[in-house]
């Protein structure tokens, strides 16, 4: 700020302060229009209520065993807990679609989200509601579809790795025939 501007502001501030013993200044008789901010304060009209923020982290429907709407992590843990039932057994893609149906305004869920949430659920650190219960009695596992049947990933026998082929060492001397 330049020196001239500072001096002008100081002079304006000094002239605005009344001097002791001086008569008060007369107010102008012509009505002036008040600033817009004071108009809003002067009127005592009630403000229109704001629309509630969208509850993008609360389920669309009431979940039966709980009798209330659930938050995202609670609902995810609930689906992991019930996914071993014979009539449920959803794959990761189907679980992600189920979550998206309950929380359409949340992030776009994918199988990647399901794997991370399952990892946290299995060590009892995903949601506060289910973490209080401790580790689940039976950890949640992934289901896949093999030949039209839903199969737990842990029930699939692992195929042993083929033995590594012995390759000649580059430093070993070769035998000439």
Mean pLDDT score of the chain: 74
Q: For residue 125, what pLDDT is reported? A: 78
Does position 152 have pLDDT exceeding 50, yes or no? yes
Average pLDDT score over residue span 42-54 = 59
Choose among 78, 77, 56, 80: nearest CA to 65. 78
Give the whole-angstrom CA distance, residue 63 versus residue 76. Answer: 12
Domain range annotation of the chain:
72-155
Q: Which residue carries 């938050």 as its tokens? A: 71
Q: For residue 92, what pLDDT is reported? A: 92
Give the whole-angstrom CA distance, residue 93 versus residue 115. Answer: 10
The tens digit of pLDDT for each residue in 78-124 reads 898 888 888 889 999 999 999 999 988 888 999 999 999 998 888 88
Whether pTM exceeds 0.75: no
């Amino acid at each position: 700020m330049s020196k001239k501007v500072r001096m002008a502001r100081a002079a304006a501030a000094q002239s605005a302060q009344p001097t002791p013993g001086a008569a008060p200044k007369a107010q102008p008789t012509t009505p002036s229009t008040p600033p817009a901010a004071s108009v809003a304060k002067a009127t005592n009209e009630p403000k229109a209520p704001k629309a509630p923020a969208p509850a993008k982290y609360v389920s669309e429907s009431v979940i039966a065993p709980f009798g209330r709407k659930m938050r995202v992590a609670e609902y995810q843990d609930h689906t992991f807990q019930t996914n071993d039932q014979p009539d449920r057994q959803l794959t990761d893609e189907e679980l992600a679609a189920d979550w998206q149906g309950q929380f359409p305004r949340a992030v776009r869920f994918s199988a990647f989200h399901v794997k991370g949430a399952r990892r946290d659920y299995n060590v009892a650190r995903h949601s506060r509601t289910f973490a209080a219960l401790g580790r689940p009695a039976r950890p949640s596992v992934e289901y896949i579809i093999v030949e039209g049947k839903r199969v737990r990933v842990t029930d699939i026998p692992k195929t042993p790795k083929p033995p590594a082929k012995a390759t000649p060492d580059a430093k070993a001397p070769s035998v000439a025939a």
